Structure 1
């Protein structure tokens, strides 16, 4: 079993103090930062661009930044976010005309590459690109907004993806985004996930360190 990673989603942070918020959750024990990029086209919301990622780096954030592109198209933003300091870049297969090419573009620019699967997206899109992936992001809500409730059928999809990764003998992270909280993170881990993206479950609490510590305790019990 790979180490578990907890990634606070900055979508739920106080944007007036984004640098401070990012620093606070890292100091509280988070492993990475998650940046949701929405374009009001692929999803019905508009959030941030590469300048925000660059601003976090300029502020002094050294932690890895996991960028989730909920945009269409993706290739130009892949290049821009890589230059802005992204560590991982994940996109949706429906948002690229040439998924293999987009994955290669991410790696060419020095980032780890991921595909994000919406609740109704089939696993068939993984069939010919497994060797190009560093992570697979299972959406446990429909993308576009924070604070949504976890969709239970995601657990079966997580298990199926874990079986697929194991059968290919690959080291690929399985991330889950949407409705992740202290009450269900253990169950999500038992299904096969090892990256946990949580927004409101962390940022809506007064003590970031306490909630991240509670999540880690739940993950320890799930092993």
Structure 2
């Protein structure tokens, strides 16, 4: 089954608790939290206090995507705030292997993210340290951007993963129209912001994305 991780960057900032509970009730598998620092990316969003405030409302898995640099000094704060997984960008610092080790040592799952301009081979020597590889299908920094085709990169990473229990997550411009392209290439977790929170019901929006992703692969819910 294709997993759906709604990005609360597209939620109502005045009503996070209720909206987190609502998307989980509507079928979300994980809750995706986009952390931006106005340095590594051109936007400023959530810090550890916000993640700590979200924690009591998240009953599934809190999937925290760090778009910050440097990463390592912030790992203990996000662990204390209650993140289940931290995903760091391979481009955000000189020692991504050390960063992933530090995330694991802090008793969290570890993910590694790739910007559109970064090749798949950048994660080849990291796959035994991660639970997830995040392929960005937009340049990070803002929600609501148009999808960039990264299907060849996704397929390459899926081949490198082999039989390891590592997810491929895709983030950026995911809709029922783009979901089949990335799941066919090998993705199994889809981050969706605007496509979940803007228009329609959360349940219908999540179901439509999941159905489109599953149909392209033959996976069944």
TM-score (norm 2): 0.95
**Cα distance in 2, alignment partners of residues 136 and 73 from structure 1:** 19
Alignment correspondent of 1:19:
17
Q: CA deviation at 1:109?
A: 1.1
Alignment correspondent of 2:131:
134
**Cα distance in 1, alignment partners of residues 38 and 214 from structure 2:** 38
Matches for 1:40-189 after TM superposition, within 5 Å: 40-58=38-56, 60-152=57-149, 154-166=150-162, 169-189=163-183
Structure 2 gaps, min length 5:
none
2:32 touches 2:191 (CA, 8 Å); kept in 1? Answer: yes
| Number of positions where the alignment pairs a residue of Structure 1 with one of Structure 2 | 217
**Cα distance in 1, alignment partners of residues 69 and 139 from structure 2:** 16
**Cα distance in 1, alignment partners of residues 52 and 200 from structure 2:** 27
What RMSD over aligned residues (CA atoms) do the two structures have, in Å?
1.1
**Cα distance in 2, alignment partners of residues 127 and 30 from structure 1:** 30
Q: CA deviation at 1:221?
A: 1.3
Question: 1:35 aligned to 2:33?
Answer: yes
TM-score (norm 1): 0.94
Match of 2:211 among 188, 205, 217: 217
Q: Which runs of 4+ in 1 moved over 3 A?
A: none
Q: CA deviation at 1:61?
A: 2.4
